[in-house]
Amino acid sequence: MKQKSKRLLAVLLTALLVGGTGTAGVFAAGAEDISAAFTDPALRACVLQEFDTDKDGALTAAEAAKVKVLVAEEKGIASLAGIEHFTALEELNVNNKGGNNPNQLTALDVSKLPALKRLACRFNALSALDVSKNTALEMIDVKGNQLAALDVSKLPALRNLSCGENPLTTLDLTQNAALEELNCEDSGLSVLNVTQNPALEKLDCPYNALKTLDVTQNTALESLFCRDNALSALDVSKNAALEYLHCGGNQLRALDVSKNAALEMLYVFTNELTVLDVSENAALKILDCSSNQLTAVDVTKNAALLSLHCNSNKLTTVDVTKNAALEELFCRDNELTAVNVSHNPALNKLDCRENYIASEDAVLLPPSVHPLDLDKYWFNPQKIPTVAPEPEEPAEEPTPQKWWETLDSWLQWVLRYLLFGWLWMQWA
């Protein structure tokens, strides 16, 4: 009997050692099912669909260890519990894009993902995010959450940060020397220091409360979008690579773009400019300087210009005869008496309303172009020039009454008095 027991034990031990089928296989290293750790049903379904490689309805630790990218946009996920098992994960994307089944994340723990390089969770409801353990992070997109603070000081490799539409109020980037792109729009920022980010190529910081912005240390900057702040000055003289500058909706009284030869698009509307010199910007294609106090705009050196918006200034002339490539001219609400676009055969939009243009004869179109050929053409109504009122004629002095006219008036009062007295006596 003992001999049989020994033989049976030997068989079982052999089966375990060689990783046999049945119950022995369940306990093989890395073969246990960990799918229950993903407590959110939507996330578990997504994980099993993507990473259950043998399609046995289970997710093993071995399968999880191979996962490097998890994209779960708009899956209706409310919790990411379980992602700590993806220890090799390099990219996590749980963005929302405005679809019908948005994720609803209020918390996100990425502290157990040391290999993470790209994190995208825009338009969720996160109120806090700790990335201090993710030192390999190169890209973070947390736009449109509820973050009151975001600490990126432990991320020396960070190259791209999008944190706009959060109630941040402050943002420290002094430890992110590798940063190349920053979007912090509409975040309640009153101060933004990018002087320690020499690699910065793109800066989007519109719709904040910035009174100053120093970009003199950002010599690699190609795009600056800082509209609708409270800037009274902006120095871009050190940004020779700048191609796109949008600083509309500020309080700028002067802007020097003479050192920005690469500039192609300039939006400087709704400021307080009285002068704007673009003669050194030969590459300029789009210029919007509407709603300033300009009395002149010289674009004769801008042969590449495609679009000119100069509405609501004090212009008496607009010379576009050197801009053969011009496609649209918006010069509404100025003091123009004529518009000459006869040298602009590519023109398809023209708005010259609210000027002192007496008739359409003063609008010179290209010889072969009829107003109906334009995609958009606005001419009327014109301004009504202010005309000084004609002096009023002096009032005639009253003619003195004759003596008999005075006597007649006196007798009428006496008769009225006597009649009133007689009526009173009759009534009494």
pLDDT score of 300: 98
Tell me the backbone φ, ψ of residue 3, rounded to 5 degrees: -65, -40
Band (366; pLDDT cuts 50, 70, 90) = confident
Q: For 220-265, write each residue's pLDDT tens digit.
A: 999 999 999 999 999 999 999 999 999 999 999 999 999 999 999 9
pLDDT of residue 370: 74
Among 22-31, 203-212, 381-390, name the one with the lowest average pLDDT: 22-31
pLDDT higher than 70, residue 9: no
Residue that terminates a domain, selected from 82, 109, 125 = 125
Backbone angles phi, psi at 166, to 5 degrees: -130, 155
Residues in the chain: 428
CA 49 to chain centre: 37
Nearest to 117, CA basis, from 144, 156, 90, 145: 90
Q: Position 273: which residue type? A: L
Burial zone of 280 (CB within 10 Å; 0-12 exposed, 13-18 middle, 19+ buried)? middle
Q: What angle do CA 31, 33, 38 make, to 5 degrees?
A: 140
Residue 405 lies in a domain: no
**Residue 413 in domain:** no
The total number of structural domains in the chain stands at 2
pLDDT reported for residue 24? 36
Rounded distance between C-alpha atoms, residue 310 and residue 329, angstroms? 8
Cα–Cα distances (Å) from 311 to 31, 124, 193, 254, 278, in that order, read 70, 40, 34, 18, 17
User: What is d(CA 208, CA 185) in angstroms, rounded to the nearest whole number?
Assistant: 7
For residue 423, is pLDDT > 90? Answer: no
Cα angle: 298, vertex 299, 303; to 5 degrees: 160
The stretch 342-352 carries a mean pLDDT of 93
Rounded Cα distance, 15 and 12, in Å: 5
Distance CA 146, CA 126 (A): 5
Question: pLDDT tens digit string along 72-118?
Answer: 999 999 999 999 999 999 999 999 999 999 999 999 999 999 999 99
Contact 343, 325 (CB under 8 A): no
CA distances from 300 to 35, 236, 252, 281, 309 (A): 68, 23, 24, 11, 15
Instruction: Tell whether 426 is covered by a domain.
Output: no
The residue segments making up the domain with residue 372 are: 317-383
pLDDT of residue 408: 56
The verdict on residue 21 lying in a domain is no
Confidence of residue 4 (pLDDT cuts 50, 70, 90): very low
**Burial of residue 366 (number of CB atoms within 10 Å: 0-12, 13-18, 19+):** middle
Here the tokens at position 103 are 């994720």
User: What is the mean pLDDT of the segment spanning 25-53?
Assistant: 84
Q: How many whole angstroms separate alpha carbon 131 and alpha carbon 151?
A: 7
CATH number at residue 63: 3.80.10.10
Q: Please write the tens of the pLDDT for every residue from 170-195.
A: 999 999 999 999 999 999 999 999 99
pLDDT value at position 201? 98
Tokens 């246990």 appear where?
32
Please say which residue of 125, 157, 175 terminates a domain.
Answer: 125
Residue 152 vs residue 422, higher pLDDT: 152
Classify residue 271: in a domain, yes or no.
Answer: no
Greater pLDDT, 179 or 30: 179
> What's the pLDDT score for residue 10?
44
Tally the C-alpha atoms within 13 A of residue 272's C-alpha that lie toward its C-beta.
9
Contact 166, 146 (CB under 8 A): yes
In angstroms, the CA 63 to CA 113 distance is 16
376 pLDDT above the threshold of 80: no
- Identify the domain boundary among 125, 159, 176: 125
Q: What is the Cβ-side half-sphere exposure of residue 280, based on CA atoms within 13 angstroms? A: 11
Does residue 49 fall inside a structural domain?
Answer: yes
- Sequence-distant (6+) residues with CB within 8 A of 181 are 159, 160, 161, 162, 200, 201, 202, 203
Answer yes or no: is 46 within a domain. yes
Phi-psi map region of 75: left, alpha, beta (phi>0 left; psi -120 to 50 alpha): alpha
Element (H, E) at 426: helix 403-427
Residue 11 in this model has a pLDDT that exceeds 90: no
Q: Answer whether residue 12 shows pLDDT above 80.
A: no
Question: Does residue 131 have a pLDDT over 80?
Answer: yes
Residues 137-145 have a mean pLDDT of: 98
**Does 353 reside within a domain?**
yes
Q: Are 27 and 19 in contact (CB under 8 A)?
A: no
Per residue, the 3-state secondary structure of 97-133, as one string, reads: CCCCCCCCCCCCCCCCCCCCCEEECCCCCCCCCCCCC
